[in-house]
Structure 1
Amino acid sequence: MIPLRPLGLGDVLAGAFTVFRRNARVLLLWSLLLSGVLGLASTIATTLGQRSLQERMLSAIDTGTGTGSGAGSDADAIAAGSVTLYLLLAVGVPFLAFLARGFLVAPVAVDTGQRVLGRRGTFRGLWALLEGRRLSVLWWMLLQLAAGAVLGVVVVVVLIGFFGALGATDAAIGGFILALLGLGLVFGLLVAFFTTRFAFTVPTIALEGRGVFSAAAQSWRLTRGAFWRTFGILLLVQVAFSIVAGIASTPLTLGVSLFSGVFDPLGQTGSRSGGLSAGAVVALVVGSLLTIAVQCVTDVLSASVTTFLAIDRRIRTEALDQRIAAHLETGQPADPFAPAQPVAQRPWPQQQQPWGPPPPPWGPQPPLGQQPQQRGGPQQQPWGGQQQPPQQWGGQQQPPQWGPARPDGRG
């Protein structure tokens, strides 16, 4: 399905679209179950929760402005409940969505590896091939979340320190703004660096069966010397897919929002109950489904692109293409994607081998057992014998005979 050689950008993109096209039903089913369902639940819960949060905060303000000792306690209880709801919506729901989208890379990577070997994976087959590797993928996602939480705490502490220093001194606010921008740039560069260096961790777990830390070390090694290429391709793919998803989902969402006025043109359904109107709920659900449908496709393509980049790096550093070719021809090794040691130097076909004479720069190669024709000299016999003198047109030597002599003596 892919050329057994180092892959270019065109090969990576073509391979990702080919994997999706030839097994779209299975891959979309995985994407819908993981990122689709949780994405829809996240969108609905976030929207409804924000509406409820606004109502609770307005109720707390109204209660706090009342008189009596019970008004303050009620306001505190409402505020505490609002903060809890906000944390649940801001942390809990995106946490589950992040786990689902991160885990989706594993079955897509396994299916991509099967397509490289000329096989087609089923839903249950991909789940079976992930046996013993699912927990490692989950642990890696949790480790990423822990690292993100630590980074977030550091950012919050630094921001508090900056604002404290700003309040304690009379320095110009412009310097603090520039310092904050520089700090944000530094944190952004760190996130981009570590995200790129560990981008192949989940495909490595899924294809090679390594543990969490071994797969992370393998990803770090594979991106060594190819950081900017990997970063550029991943960034290009993410930007392109985000633009495509926005173009595809925005008109549909706007159309559904306009169409929702048919259900409740005056918005009176939700005015009495204090909730969302029927038209708003329909617009929210249908618009979310359209957006998530596009997102599911881009998630599968992004995971396949990442897997092909990991395969390309293994071809360049571990001669994975030779093991795949040997597996397709002889069946050995049984698992060409198994962990292997890096090769010192790839014997590319265009490199000259250290043995044998160099081929002539012109004409076809001579047959086996014959020496090439030498310019400016006689042709040598291949296996010994006396050298035949060349025929000349003059002197005592006869010209070459082009056929048997005629009886009348003519040539």
Structure 2
Amino acid sequence: MPTPDGWDERAVPGGGAAGNEGAVPSEEVPGAGGGGVALGGEIPFRPLSISEMLDGAVACVRLYPRAVLGPSVAITTVIQVAGSLAAFFFVGRTARDEVSPGWVVRSIGTQFTLGIFGLVLSAFGIVLLAGLLGPVLGRGLFGMPVTLRGAWRDLRPRLGRLVAVGAAVTLVPLLGMALPVLPFALFVAVDAHPALGVLAALAGFPLGAALMVWLYVLLVLAAPAVVMERESVGGALRRAWTLSKGRWWRTFGTLLLAILVTVFMGFFALRIPFLLVELLFFGGGGAGESQALLAMAVDTVGRIVSWSVVLPFDAGVIALLYFDRRMRREGLDLELRTRAHERRRANGRAPAEGASHDGGGVEDEGFFEHWRPDLAEHAATPYGLQRYGSGALS
């Protein structure tokens, strides 16, 4: 296995990347069995508990604000501006002169459709950002430099595949939800007996929601996998399915906690100042088009600010779930520590010819080689079974 550019004996699990500008030195984790490594002392290089993943997602934003918040602001701006324009086009014009209970009832379908549109765009943005944060957290775990330019260089060769994976992770669960609801839609379309529609709705909507959540949890780890393992789209989706299989409930619980934190921070804490401005200056109703546009602009800016902060939290949790599953299922932490000890024993070996020590980039495929799984090797030597017991492979 080649040594990645910028990764010397000090920049591997078990050592610290001293002397690299922008790098976060790794630290020994007390009680980690002699040599656990932490990202800035906060993300242990070992299987993570749920609380450690939530804390680690916050630490990622704090330690690498430029590499994380820059892409987050760009993605969030596109999502929120698109949502605001769609809302103004379909709802704003009709609501400007009439905001009444009757209008609210008549526009329920449109508002529901716009809500689904916003959720789909947000889910797509989270998946894209999770793919970008994979190399950021991966390099940080090894004490390597993490910059916005470096993150873009790592992502750029796989950007098209990441977009395709994001579309699949977003749309396949929606398709799973639509199939059980299809009989209800058909009964409504042909004006069937109301009882049939009620029965189809009672059975179809809960089943569709459950199927949607099940598929999303199984597939969401494909975003970091397609970037970190340099997989194809199909290969990344298969890897996500393999890594999530047997640990669905734990993955679901972690993502649910992350979403609850996101909803609280995004919809309440960070948006309150902007909602107060809207209430004070545009809360009288009956406004003209210019005031409606100003109100929409204030609301959009508020959503951009809040979601730019909370979106990386969800994305970071997904990336850390990927690392956790690699360590629990395939013993990735043991494998990389073994390589580090082997390099220390080969103490005077010269670095590979042509290797640079600037933190890598597109040509730094050596870094990504360490994340590609050797499935035959893992099948022959179950690393997780040696350290964590048979439950680690589930």
TM above 0.5, yes or no, is yes
Give the conservation status (yes or no) of the 8 Å contact 2:134–2:227: yes
Question: What corresponds to 2:130 in structure 1?
Answer: 105
Task: Write the letter of the residue equivalent to 2:172.
Answer: A
Give the conservation status (yes or no) of the 8 Å contact 2:75–2:125: yes
TM-score for both structures, normalised by structure 1? 0.65
Moved more, 289-298 or 142-151: 142-151
Question: What corresponds to 2:247 in structure 1?
Answer: 226
Structure-2 change in CA distance of 1:225 and 1:216 (3 Å): same
Q: Is residue 371 of structure 2 the alignment partner of residue 346 of structure 1?
A: no
Structure 2 counterpart of 1:130, from 138, 155, 180: 155
Question: What corresponds to 1:183 in structure 2?
Answer: 204
Moved more, 173-182 or 290-299: 173-182
Distance 1:188 1:345 in 2: 36
Question: What corresponds to 1:296 in structure 2?
Answer: 308
Structure-2 change in CA distance of 1:253 and 1:174 (3 Å): farther
Structure-2 change in CA distance of 1:257 and 1:193 (3 Å): same
1:164-185 alpha-carbon deviations (Å, 9 max, x no partner): 67x455xxx4664243122111
Task: Write the letter of the residue equivalent to 2:217.
Answer: T
Question: What corresponds to 2:32 in structure 1?
Answer: none
Structure-2 change in CA distance of 1:276 and 1:337 (3 Å): same
Report the secondary structure of 1:346's partner residue. helix
Question: What corresponds to 1:12 in structure 2?
Answer: 53
Question: What corresponds to 2:318 in structure 1?
Answer: 306
1:347-402 alpha-carbon deviations (Å, 9 max, x no partner): 64588xxxxxxxxxxxxxxxxxxxxxxxxxxxxxxxxxxxxxxxxxxxxxxxxxxx
1:133-161 alpha-carbon deviations (Å, 9 max, x no partner): 11111122333455367557646642233
Structure-2 change in CA distance of 1:319 and 1:91 (3 Å): closer
Structure-2 change in CA distance of 1:92 and 1:287 (3 Å): closer
Q: Is residue 260 of structure 2 the alignment partner of residue 239 of structure 1?
A: yes
What pairs with 1:207-356 in structure 2 (closer than 5 Å)? 207-261=228-282, 270=288, 275-277=289-291, 280-326=292-338, 328=340, 330=343, 335-341=369-375, 342=378, 343-344=381-382, 346=384, 348=386
Structure-2 change in CA distance of 1:49 and 1:327 (3 Å): farther
Q: Is residue 230 of structure 2 the alignment partner of residue 203 of structure 1?
A: no
Give the conservation status (yes or no) of the 8 Å contact 1:318–1:340: no
Structure-2 change in CA distance of 1:32 and 1:327 (3 Å): farther
1:282-310 alpha-carbon deviations (Å, 9 max, x no partner): 33322322222221222101111111111
Unmatched tracts of structure 2, length 5 or more: 1-38, 99-109, 347-365, 390-394
Give the conservation status (yes or no) of the 8 Å contact 1:260–1:282: no
Shift of 1:211: 0.8
Task: Write the letter of the residue equivalent to 1:257.
Answer: E
TM-score for both structures, normalised by structure 2? 0.68
Structure-2 change in CA distance of 1:48 and 1:5 (3 Å): closer
Shift of 1:30: 0.7
Structure 2 counterpart of 1:121, from 146, 149, 165: 146
Shift of 1:51: 4.5
Structure-2 change in CA distance of 1:94 and 1:19 (3 Å): closer
Distance 2:78 2:388 in 1: 50
When the two chains are superposed, the root-mean-square deviation of aligned CA atoms in Å is 3.6
Distance 2:387 2:120 in 1: 48
1:167-225 alpha-carbon deviations (Å, 9 max, x no partner): 455xxx46642431221111111111111111210010111111111111111111121
Report the secondary structure of 2:374's partner residue. coil
Shift of 1:327: 5.2
Give the conservation status (yes or no) of the 8 Å contact 2:184–2:197: no
Report the secondary structure of 1:133's partner residue. helix
What pairs with 1:155-170 in structure 2 (closer than 5 Å)? 157-163=182-188, 167-169=191-193
Shift of 1:258: 2.9
Structure-2 change in CA distance of 1:350 and 1:22 (3 Å): closer
Question: What corresponds to 2:31 in structure 1?
Answer: none
Question: What corresponds to 1:63 in structure 2?
Answer: none
Report the secondary structure of 1:16's partner residue. helix
Question: What corresponds to 1:44 in structure 2?
Answer: 84
Report the secondary structure of 1:6's partner residue. coil
Structure-2 change in CA distance of 1:247 and 1:51 (3 Å): closer
Task: Write the letter of the residue equivalent to 1:259.
Answer: L
Question: What corresponds to 2:6 in structure 1?
Answer: none
Distance 2:339 2:59 in 1: 22
* Higher helix proportion: 2
Distance 1:43 1:313 in 2: 34
Q: Is residue 101 of structure 2 the alignment partner of residue 23 of structure 1?
A: no
Give the conservation status (yes or no) of the 8 Å contact 1:45–1:89: no
Report the secondary structure of 2:157's partner residue. coil
Distance 2:315 2:265 in 1: 16
Give the conservation status (yes or no) of the 8 Å contact 2:331–2:383: no
Distance 1:221 1:328 in 2: 27
The percent identity for this pair of structures is 22
Give the conservation status (yes or no) of the 8 Å contact 1:109–1:207: yes
Question: What corresponds to 1:147 in structure 2?
Answer: 172
Count, aligned residues: 311
Distance 2:140 2:309 in 1: 18
Give the conservation status (yes or no) of the 8 Å contact 1:26–1:122: yes
Structure-2 change in CA distance of 1:98 and 1:344 (3 Å): closer
Structure-2 change in CA distance of 1:55 and 1:315 (3 Å): closer
Distance 1:132 1:191 in 2: 30
